[in-house]
Amino acid sequence: MEKIDRGVITPLNWLGGLFDGDCTLRMGIDNKNRLYTQFVLEMVDEYTISETIKIVSDIVGYKVSRSSRITPSGFSKKVKHGLSVQARHPLRVLLRNLRPHCLLYRSKIDAVLECLDRALVYDQRARSPGKIFSISDRDRELVRKFSGKGPKYIDTTIEPTSKLGWLVGIIDAEGSFIFTDKNLLFNINMACEFALEKISEYLKTELGITSIVYDKNVKYPSKLKQFYIHLRNDSLESLVTQITPLLITKNLQSSLILEYMQNRIPEHTSSRLVTGLNHHLREAREESLKILKKGNPVPS
């Protein structure tokens, strides 16, 4: 199985998948009866945020700043790194460029763009670019329909510009490599069943992977349904062989998985070996951060 060259997808292709997997597009009415819109991305992985900031900054035409905050996580705390675009004109530019490359958020992007277009018209009339425009009945209707987290009213007839680029972005956002006593696994889990169906479809059409375990009925104590895709053995080896050069967040982890699989890990490994392999995955994440701080590109 041949590796795929990084040049076959663009940063926007990748960002479309990452957006559908991990980003939030907010719109609502605040307590002063003003409309607000905002693009937000928060992740624990600092490397992905840095790469995303470069892409978003190039699109909107100015340096997007990075934020960090500490969130509780069980008995410990996690540092989440993020970026935010809220100013109307840069947000409008970003969403117009991003729209063709998204799948799940396309309808919500259209709603936000409609509000932003109307905002710019009001600003031109008022001749005050910073002034909050009056909320129309149409704006209120769109806020009721599309406010809140997550994609709403997904158009199941559309496709992203690059299916492969979108798939790589989703894997960087939502994919996870897991070592257990019996298996080496790759998982993707999402609350949106349509997203998992598309991921399964693109794994088959773009990468030729057909042996996919698809679990639709996993429930958590929070009562939110989660839908899972599992890959193992030859399917997993085919995945990491083809897409390792394309990944940004999980490039080093995927390279590590490929190295172990090519050396043929025994099907039933000891708990000690599993602990060691999982330790190496954590080291791979740390190595990504070191490479970033040195200003070197991710190896492929």
pTM above 0.85, yes or no: no
The separation between CA 182 and the C-alpha centre of its own chain, rounded to angstroms, equals 29
Identify whether residues 135 and 11 lie together within a single domain: yes
Full residue range of the structural domain in which residue 240 is found:
163-294
Torsion of CA 212, 213, 219, 220, to 10 degrees: -80
In terms of domains, do 179 and 288 share one? Answer: yes
Q: Is residue 154 part of a domain?
A: no
Number of domains into which the chain is organized: 2
Does residue 157 belong to any structural domain of this protein? no
Structure confidence by residue, pLDDT tens digits, 66-114: 887 776 655 556 677 788 888 888 899 999 999 999 999 999 999 999 8
Q: How far is CA 28 from CA 58, 116, 146, 280, in A?
A: 27, 12, 9, 43
Q: CATH number for the domain including 65?
A: 3.10.28.10
* pLDDT confidence tier of residue 299, bands split at 50, 70 and 90: very low
Q: Which secondary structure element, helix H or strand E, spans residue 79, and what is its range? A: strand 76-85
Q: In the listed set 116, 146, 176, which residue is the last one of a domain according to the structure?
A: 146
Domain membership of residue 155 (yes or no) is no
Q: Are residues 111 and 176 in the same domain?
A: no
Does residue 153 sit within a domain?
Answer: no
109 and 190 together in one domain: no
